[in-house]
Amino acid sequence: MQVPSLSKLEVTALKGVGNKFAQTLARLDIQSVQDLLFHLPQRYVDRTRIRSIASLRLNDVAMLQASVLDARIVFGRRRSLQVKVEDDSGVMSLRFFHFNAAQKNSFEQGRVLRLFGEVRPGPAGPEMYHPEYEFFDTPENAQETEARLTPIYPLTEGVSQPRMRALTQQAIEFLAQSPPEELLPDMDNHRFRVHSLAEALAYVHFPPADADIQQLLAGQHPYQQRLAFEELLAHFLVKQFIRAENRRFDAPTVTLNRNAIQPLLDQLPFSPTAAQERVTAEVARDLNASKPMLRMVQGDVGSGKTLVAAMAAYATVQAGYQVAVVAPTEILAEQHLQNFRRWFEPLGLKVEWLVGRLTAKQKREVLERLHQRETDIVIGTHALFEEPVRFRCLALAVIDEQHRFGVHQRLSLRGKNDDDSVPHQLVMTATPIPRTLAMTSYAELDFSIIDELPPGRKPVQTVVISQDRKVAVIERVRAAIAEGRQVYWVCPLIEESETLSAANAEDTFETLSTALPETGVALVHGRLKAQEKEERMAAFKQGEARLLVATTVIEVGVDVPNASVMIIENPERLGLAQLHQLRGRVGRGSEESHCILLYGDKLSREGKARLQILRETNDGFQIAERDLEMRGPGEFLGTRQAGDMLYRIADHQRDAHLFSAVQECGLRLLDAHPEAAQKLVDRWFGRRQHYALA
């Protein structure tokens, strides 16, 4: 029987898949047999070998064989069963939060068990939480290990790993009869010495018993690399489609030159830096074109990105158009509102804001003024993306901290005008994007870099100190406050956690309030209502509170020049880019500023090396490159952006060596074989293209 193209063969062709289960699979974007084949393992479980306790590291997923030393019920914030086990190399704990008396009694001293789980940090060292386990009378009676790696797939409710593996096995059987089309040029396909795409798919789903386990676990097997290359290529191409789609529209032309913005410059107490002038000239070229600008302005904390945006905004309003500024938080939106009103209202411009906390009546009034062109510049949060928002003549959209928004959100602003014109878009980030990441993840954008700080800004002095010296740090805080300064104290958690050993803001607030009774201490975290958060932030900005205890919610949008000391507890739990952002909250005044990284008692060698980078440099671009090497792209892409990416097998950190070839191949395909480029995007994105091309 002739098998149709697997992209056309519905999953109901597989045994055990009826219409109801097909609807469940559709939640995973699996509608055809080809979709199932490209639903790749996100990792493998290695049940082929038994590891020793001494060889384990945090986050390892491993199988052990050990004997029971002790089992006891431990009472803390939550009751748990703690089981200590040992092998010839060492001792570790197992922890169960859900257990019964029979389970506890089964862990008799000396019993041999085979267990499988993930190694996580515990109160007294590494532990496994709720591992799979099986008892044996003697070590000799234990079953043999499995012969090959076990694939682990992304799932949804109603789909189990065994069922997904069984369905995939059926799909593999169709491959020989109807292999997927080879879309890569021969020179790129042969780079990995892989004979065919079908061969790569079959191998990656079910590696044979003689496969190189270490290569597969590391994601570096040639078959994995062949698939990762094609996936990265599809992502590069979809970004190029966004760029091309944007060029189909017309945008208002705006003249941005010294004459157009001189009234704004005349009232500033400072002059733009050479870097700001250069970037403004790059923006000016885009604004003067008849096609919509898509430009990202990167600049380190305090480099003056907002002034570049303000100069573009002023020229746009002077040309007769409106401007929207979008920020990810109300704190940051309010800061922009204050700056823009201070700069523009003396020049006769009307600046308003649109955020969630406004009443329904206030929102209606703002929306009406926007639509009637009574408002020149509107500053807001996600509320500006919502359906009721309409402009008479929006010509410039400024997106601050762009990694907090998805591509489809950013581009949704282009349908907000009454006419068919599309606004220029200027996106800004204080998290420098490494060049390798920009080549693929932000391929739709042009880039400008502000690589110069305003004169007079002193680099923040950074020290790394153990939590054993917390009492001395508190005394340092007391001295700084006595000198009239203000202090941030940042914790990674809001409240105490059962599973994470890290400082939490609520307990720290109580501790510092008791230790410094003469000091106004405020507490800010993400669970507070917006108004309560704003009130506490305002108290700190106005100097009523001298010490602000907070979570990373203050990472962006807080500008208090009098704050010159930043303490960050458990910095080993945060990325370098995020730590650099937090550090940028100080050093905004004329006083020398300090950042104290208060690390935990079990800082690894790698953790020490990471924190040392912050001691050595204040250069955000250098820090960003090192962070990408160590942690991958999550911090730079942001949750929403990473969600849009939805990688199946590629990894930005691991596969960075492929980026140049991906870019080169993508441009060749678009030029010579655009139909193959579209097929590649269809294969990897399927129904999700509308997110990228919204």
According to the per-residue pLDDT averaged within each range, which of 74-88, 487-501, 644-658 is highest? Answer: 74-88
Neighbouring CB atoms inside 10 A of 465's CB total 15
Helix (H) or strand (E) holding 278: helix 274-287
Q: Quick check: is 569 in a domain?
A: yes
Q: Are residues 177 and 40 in the same domain?
A: yes
pLDDT at 674 over 60: yes
Boundary (domain end) residue, out of 141, 171, 198 = 141
Cα 592 versus chain centre, distance = 32
Distance (Å, whole) CA 259 – CA 315 = 9
Q: For residues 19 and 53, state if they share a domain.
A: no
Residue 643 has pLDDT above 50, yes or no: no
Say which residue the tokens 């990228």 belong to.
692
Residues 334, 386: one domain? Answer: yes
C-alpha of 235 from chain center: 17
Of the candidate ranges 126-140, 156-170, 384-398, 643-657, the one whose mean pLDDT is the lowest: 643-657
Helix (H, G, I), strand (E, B) or coil at 120: strand
Residues 287 and 365 occupy one common structural domain: yes
Report d(CA 502, CA 491) in Å as an integer: 8
pTM: 0.72
Chain segment 185-208, per-residue pLDDT in tens: 888 888 898 889 999 999 999 998
Q: Which CATH number belongs to the domain containing residue 306 in this structure?
A: 3.40.50.300
DSSP for 455-509 reads: TTPPPPEEEEEEGGGHHHHHHHHHHHHHTT-EEEEE-SBSS--SS----BHHHHH
Decide if pLDDT at 307 tops 60. Answer: yes
Mean pLDDT of 268-279: 91
Residue 373 falls in which region: left (phi positive, over 0), alpha (psi -120 to 50) or beta: left
Query: Rounded distance, CA 135 to CA 65, Å?
Result: 10
Judgement on whether residues 613 and 466 belong to the same structural domain of the protein: yes
Residues 297 and 198 in one domain: no
Same domain, 25 and 173: yes
* Residue 306 maps to a domain: yes
Q: Which residues pair with 610 in a beta bridge?
A: none
Q: Tell me if 191 is assigned to some domain.
A: yes
Report whether pLDDT(606) > 80: no
Q: How many CB atoms lie within 10 A of CB 84?
A: 17
What is the per-residue pLDDT for 502?
Answer: 65
pLDDT tens digits, one per residue of 333-346? 888 998 999 999 99
Tell me: pLDDT of 694 over 70. no
Report d(CA 239, CA 440) in Å as an integer. 8
Does some domain include residue 264?
yes
- pLDDT band, residue 630 (cuts 50/70/90): low
The secondary structure of 576-593 as a DSSP string is HHHHHHHHTTS--SSS--
Same structural domain, 55 and 20 = no
Indicate whether 231 belongs to any domain.
no
In sign, the C-alpha dihedral spanning 368, 372, 375, 380 is positive
pLDDT digits (tens, 9 = 90+) for 415-427: 788 777 899 999 9
**What average pLDDT does the structure give for the chain?**
86
Which of residues 141, 159, 178 is at a domain's end? Answer: 141
Mean pLDDT of 397-408: 77
Q: Are residues 266 and 390 in the same domain?
A: yes
Q: What is the rounded end-to-end Cα distance, in angstroms, of the chain?
A: 40
Least confident piece of the model among 37-41, 246-250, 585-589: 585-589
User: Are 546 and 512 spatial neighbours (Cβ–Cβ below 8 Å)?
Assistant: no
Q: Is residue 233 part of a domain?
A: no
Mean pLDDT for the stretch of residues 404-418: 75
CB-based burial of residue 143 (10 Å sphere; 0-12 exposed, 13-18 middle, 19+ buried)? exposed
Q: What is the pLDDT of residue 646?
A: 65
Non-local CB neighbours of 210 within 8 Å, separated by 6+ positions = none
The residue segments making up the domain with residue 197 are 1-44+149-206
CA 656/CA 310 separation, integer angstroms: 35
656 located within any domain: no
Residue 645 has pLDDT above 70, yes or no: no
| pLDDT at residue 171 in the model | 95
Strands in 486-490's sheet, in edge-to-edge order, are: 461-466, 594-599, 563-569, 486-490, 547-550, 521-524
Do 539 and 516 sit in the same domain of this protein?
yes
CB under 8 Å to 543, separation ≥6 — which residues? 486, 562
Whether residue 655 lies inside any domain: the answer is no
Same domain, 548 and 440: no
Percent of the chain exceeding pLDDT 90 equals 49
**CATH number, domain containing residue 121:** 2.40.50.140
Give the pLDDT confidence score for residue 59 in this predicted structure. Answer: 81
Q: Could you tell me which of 378, 377, 381 has the C-alpha nearest to residue 329?
A: 381
More confident residue, 517 or 498: 517
Residue 95 contacts residue 67 (beta carbons within 8 Å)? no
User: What's the token pair of residue 628?
Assistant: 């990408």
Does residue 501 share a domain with residue 375? no
The last residue of one of the domains, among 450, 482, 501, is 450
What total of structural domains would you count in the chain?
4
